[in-house]
Amino acid sequence: MPTTSKLETFGPVIATGPMEQLRLDPLIRNQAQRVHSALRIAILDGLLPSGTALPSSRALSRQIGIGRNTIVAAYELLVSDGLAEARHGSGTFVAPVPPLQANINVTPVIEPRSPAGPKKPFALGQPRVEPALLNRLAAASRRRISDADPFDLGYGDPRGSLHLRRQIAAALAIDRGLRCDPDCIVIVSGTQHGLRLCMDALVEPGDRVWMEEPGYAAARTTLLASGAVPVPINVDEEGLDIRAGRQRAPDAKAAYVTPSHQFPSGVRMSMSRRVELLDWAENASAWVLEDDYDSEFRYTGRPLTALAGLSSTRVIYLGTFAKTLFPALRIGYVVVPPDVLGRVLAARAAIDRFPPAFMQDALADLMSNGTVSAHLRRMRKQYRHSRDRIARILIEEAAGVLTPIVPEQGLHMIVRLASNLASDVGRKIRAEAGVEALLLSETQTVTTGIEAFVLGFSGFAPEVLSEAASSLARAARKLVE
C-alpha cells in the first residue's frame, strides 16, 4: 500500500490548539508559501491575535510533516510582511496588527433591469453576433498586437485611434450626413461614458437638462450621477415638445434626445421640431446631446440625416458599436464641436486619460476592408425578418389585446396593450409568458396610464422569437379573457 504523509493524515489542518483552524491551500504549489498564506490569513482575520507565540519551526515541522527549513522560510515571509516578529532567544510572535474587517453584510449593487446570466427573448440591446465576424475581429486584433511598435504600446492619443476616427468620420459623412473632422471625434467605452464626459465638461452640478419622457433610463441615471437635474419633457408624435421644454425649464443648459428613433416610442423627430430645438440651443447657449444609438438599422430607405448634420456648433453626437457589433466590444464615440474639445479631453484625463488601442485599430481594419458594412447588410435583413415575423404572430394570435407598431428603424418595437386593461396586467402577462420585455411604464417618471411592451427583436434566432411571441400572445389572452 502507498504510504500516507503526515500532511495527508492531518488533511489541510496545520496545527492543533490555537492554530487548529488554519488551513493549507492546495492550489499553492510552493510549500513555504502555502504555510505562509495560511498563517497570514489567520493573523489578518484575528484568529491569531497580536502577541501570540507561534510554534517553533521544529515543533510545527513535526506536526504537519513538512521540512523544518520550509517552516523557517514561511516564518521569514511573515516577518518580512510585518505580520510577525522574531525575538532573539524567545521565538516568533504575531506582530501588533489590527484584524482585517470583512464586509460580510455588504450586498453588491446591481441594476434591477440588468440581471446577470443569459437574457430571455425580447431583451433589449442584444444584437446577434456571427462567429465569422468574431473570427475576423480576433485575427485583426492579433495582427495589431503582434505588429505593435513602441508608440502603439504607449499612452497614445487621448481621443483614441486615428485610424478608427477616420473610418467613423467617413461613415458618418456617407450614412448620416454629418461631416466632421476626425480630430473632433473622441473614442469612448460606450454612450454612457461619452455622455458623462460631456456632462462633466460642459454642465455644472445643479444645472437642469431636458430629458425625453418617456425616455432612456440609463441616460437619466448618468445625468443624475453627474449632478445635473433631469427635467422630463413630453414626447409626442413629432418628438420632443420644445414648447413644453421652454415652459418647464427655460434655463436648461442641455437637452438629451434620440431624434432619429426616439427611445422607447420609436417616434422620429419632425424637421420643424429639429429646427426649433436647434434655435433654442443657439439662443440659450445650451447643448443638444444627440444619442444616435441604432441608426444603422433602417429598413425603409436611407438612414436619416443626423441632427448634428444640421448644426455642428451646439450639437454633440453620441454613437456606439454596441448595436452594430456587440456591447462587450465597449467602443463608442463622441463628435464634439472644436471649441469645446479641450474641455472634454480634460474631463477624460480626470477619469481614464486614454482608451485601449488595439481593438480600436482592429475594428477600423474591419471597417476599411468592408467586413463591418457587409455584416450590417446581413443583420439588417435578419432583423427585418424577425420584426415582421413577431408582428404577424401578435396580430394573428392576440388581436384586440396586443397591437404591434412596426418600426421603420431600430432593434425594438412597441406593442400596445388594450386601453381598458388594469394597470398591472402588463407585468402579469410578462411573468406568465416568461420573457424579458420592458414595459413602457418602466421608462416613465410619471405614469400616464398608457401601457405597452418594448420588445427587442435582434438578439435571438427567429424561431426563438416566434415561440416567445406566441407565448406572449397566449399569456395576454389568458389574463385578459
The per-residue DSSP string of 231-282 comes to EEEEEETTEE-HHHHHHH-TT-SEEEE--SS-TTT-PPPPHHHHHHHHHHHH
What is the number of structural domains in the chain?
3
Q: How confident is the model at residue 90 (pLDDT cuts 50, 70, 90)?
A: confident
Give the pLDDT confidence of 336-348 residue by residue, as tens digits. 999 999 999 999 9
Residue 417 lies in a domain: yes
Q: How far apart are CA 317 and CA 46, in angstroms?
A: 54
Give the pLDDT confidence of 433-448 residue by residue, as tens digits. 999 999 999 999 877 7
Looking at the structure, tell me whether residues 418 and 321 fall in a common domain.
no
Looking at the structure, tell me whether residues 258 and 203 fall in a common domain.
yes
Return the DSSP state at 402.
E
Looking at the structure, tell me whether residues 48 and 170 fall in a common domain.
no
Residue 196 lies in a domain: yes
Looking at the structure, tell me whether residues 171 and 253 fall in a common domain.
yes
Q: What is the pLDDT of residue 43?
A: 82
Give the pLDDT confidence of 277-302 residue by residue, as tens digits. 999 999 999 999 999 998 889 898 77
Looking at the structure, tell me whether residues 198 and 304 fall in a common domain.
yes
**pTM as predicted:** 0.80
Residue 310 lies in a domain: yes
Average per-residue pLDDT in the chain?
Answer: 87
Give the pLDDT confidence of 152-191 residue by residue, as tens digits. 888 889 999 999 999 999 999 988 889 999 999 999 999 9
State mean pLDDT over 73-99: 85
Q: How far apart are CA 184 and CA 171, in angstroms?
A: 15
Q: Which residue has the higher pLDDT, 368 or 41?
A: 368
- Residue 427 belongs to a domain with what CATH number? 3.90.1150.10
Q: CB within 8 A of 159, min separation 6: which ones?
A: 165, 183, 185, 186, 187, 345
Give the pLDDT confidence of 366-400 residue by residue, as tens digits. 999 999 999 999 999 999 999 999 999 999 999 88
Residue 463 lies in a domain: yes
Which residues span the domain enclosing 252? Answer: 157-356
Contact 39, 48 (CB under 8 A): yes
Percent of the chain whose pLDDT exceeds 90: 61
Residue 147 lies in a domain: no
Buried b (16+ CB within 10 A) or exposed e, 245-261: beeebeebbbbbbbbbb
Looking at the structure, tell me whether residues 196 and 300 fall in a common domain.
yes
Return the DSSP state at 329.
G
- Residue 57 belongs to a domain with what CATH number? 1.10.10.10
Residue 130 lies in a domain: no
Task: Name the domain boundary from 40, 62, 94.
Answer: 94
Q: What is the pLDDT of residue 101?
A: 54
Looking at the structure, tell me whether residues 336 and 447 fall in a common domain.
no
Residue 302 lies in a domain: yes
